[in-house]
């Protein structure tokens, strides 16, 4: 299976190489992505393909934060709605998990802005190292945000139901939500550090 996959990749690269033969943009791409190959057509095709894939996946991984925020909001909202039928006076007090889940989306927005501002091939060369730095940044923030959103949703759903029966559990629920939110904050910090590494590569 592995050999078949490799052959398909080689066939796709050969087809793209053939389609780009004589294309004046090839020289531009090769110059733009300086230092990521030996300058021939194959290297230019590989560099362009890698650049596109890394940018796409970096953005996709950042979207995981939105998925976590949506899940946390929906899961907590279901609990609030169910609890509000019997204890409507506690609805506004129990909406805290929904708010904390929505904050996760801001973390993804911050990383997305940092990555997008770092991708400007017209102003400076975009190296393979930079692409992997942005990719790992989006992955760290995205998966951390997704995990935090799931934790907030599950805790929020069960917490607001339990708080309706025993009000003394409210403080404990808030503390658990804070620790769950901290997971996404850690991912944001790691993502910012990794994004700051982009642009520090140098051509040989």
Q: What is the pLDDT of residue 204?
A: 43
Which H/E stretch holds residue 164?
Answer: helix 128-165
**50-197 maps to which CATH number?**
1.20.120.610
Contacts of 114 (CB under 8 A, 6+ apart): 137, 191, 192, 195
Say if residues 199 and 124 touch (Cβ distance below 8 Å). Answer: yes
Q: Which long-range contacts (CB under 8 A, 24 or more apart) does 46-50 make?
A: 46/13, 47/128, 49/13, 49/16, 50/128, 50/131
CA–CA gap between residue 141 and residue 187 (Å, rounded): 4
Residue-wise pLDDT tens for the chain (204 aa)? 545 655 665 665 565 555 555 444 444 444 444 444 444 444 444 455 556 666 666 667 778 888 999 999 999 999 999 888 888 888 898 899 999 999 999 998 898 888 888 776 666 666 777 778 888 888 899 999 999 999 999 999 999 999 999 989 999 999 999 999 999 999 999 999 988 887 666 544
CA–CA gap between residue 132 and residue 165 (Å, rounded): 50
User: Residue 124: phi, psi to the nearest 5?
Assistant: -155, 165
- pLDDT one-digit tens code per residue, 143-190: 999 999 999 999 999 999 999 999 899 999 999 999 999 999 999 999
- Domain locations in the chain? 50-197
Contacts of 10 (CB under 8 A, 6+ apart): none
């Amino acid at each position: 299976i592995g050999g078949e996959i490799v052959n398909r990749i080689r066939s796709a690269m050969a087809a793209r190489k053939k389609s780009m033969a004589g294309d004046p943009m090839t020289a531009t791409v090769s110059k733009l992505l300086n230092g990521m190959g030996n300058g021939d057509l194959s290297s230019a095709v590989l560099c362009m393909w890698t650049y596109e894939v890394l940018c796409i996946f970096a953005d996709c991984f950042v979207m995981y934060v939105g998925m976590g925020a949506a899940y946390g909001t929906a899961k907590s909202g279901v609990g609030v709605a169910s609890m509000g039928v019997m204890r409507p006076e506690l609805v506004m007090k129990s909406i805290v998990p929904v708010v904390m889940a929505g904050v996760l989306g801001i973390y993804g927005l911050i990383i997305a802005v940092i990555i997008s501002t770092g991708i400007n091939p017209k102003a400076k060369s975009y190296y393979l190292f930079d692409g992997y730095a942005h990719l790992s940044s989006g992955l760290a923030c995205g998966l951390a945000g997704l995990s935090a959103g799931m934790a907030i949703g599950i805790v929020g759903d069960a917490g607001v139901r339990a708080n309706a029966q025993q009000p003394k559990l409210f403080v404990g629920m808030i503390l658990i939500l804070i620790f769950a939110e901290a997971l996404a904050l850690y991912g944001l910090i790691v993502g910012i550090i990794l994004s700051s590494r982009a642009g520090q590569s140098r051509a040989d």
